[in-house]
Structure formats: structure tokens, C-alpha cells
């Protein structure tokens, strides 16, 4: 167990930050799932609209530090390719 005042404060801060990060990751996953659901239904306009909403959310995850920028770019690129393939 931590003995120093600063270490105890760090533990408290880490718990709060962990909760925030889990919420951010869950939010990104939700938006990605909405795109995948639209893709599964085969509805291109809905999939495109969902992708347009998901893209800034994924990039927000990058700016908040919960996703690596290359991971986010890869996810967006693959979703974009799948939406474009619907015709």
C-alpha cells in the first residue's frame, strides 16, 4: 500500500482516469457497432451516415489518448472501404 501522500493521491487520480478512459473506449465501440449494424443490413445511406458520426468519435479517442492514431486510422479506413463496397 502507498505510504506517501503523493502516491495515495496518484492512486485516487488513476481510478478516476481509468473510469473515464473505459467510458471513452465504450463510446467509440458503440459508434463502430452502429456502422457495422448498418453494413449488415445492407443499407448504404444509413451506413454512410453512421460512418460520418463514428469518424470524429474515433478521432476524439485518439486525441484523448485511449486509441493509437494508426489504430484509429486503420479502423476508419476499413469501415470506409466496407461502406464503399455496398452498392
pLDDT for 26-54, tens place per residue?
A: 999 999 999 999 999 999 999 999 999 99
CB atoms within 10 A of CB 36: 15
The C-alpha atoms of residue 44 and residue 34 are separated, in whole angstroms, by 13
- Which pLDDT score, from 0 to 100, does residue 87 have? 75
| pLDDT beyond 90 at 14 | yes
Q: How many domains does the chain have?
A: 1
CATH number at residue 50: 1.20.58.110
Domain, as residue range, for 55: 5-85
Q: What is the pTM of this model?
A: 0.87
* Residue pLDDT, tens place only, 53-74: 999 999 999 999 999 999 999 9
Amino acid at each position: 500500500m502507498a505510504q506517501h501522500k503523493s502516491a495515495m493521491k496518484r492512486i485516487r487520480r488513476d481510478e478516476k482516469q481509468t473510469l473515464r478512459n473505459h467510458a471513452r473506449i465504450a463510446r467509440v465501440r458503440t459508434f463502430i457497432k452502429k456502422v457495422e449494424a448498418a453494413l449488415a443490413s445492407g443499407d448504404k445511406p444509413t451506413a454512410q451516415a453512421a460512418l460520418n458520426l463514428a469518424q470524429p468519435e474515433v478521432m476524439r479517442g485518439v486525441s484523448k489518448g485511449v486509441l493509437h492514431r494508426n489504430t484509429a486510422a486503420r479502423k476508419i479506413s476499413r469501415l470506409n472501404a466496407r461502406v464503399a463496397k455496398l452498392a
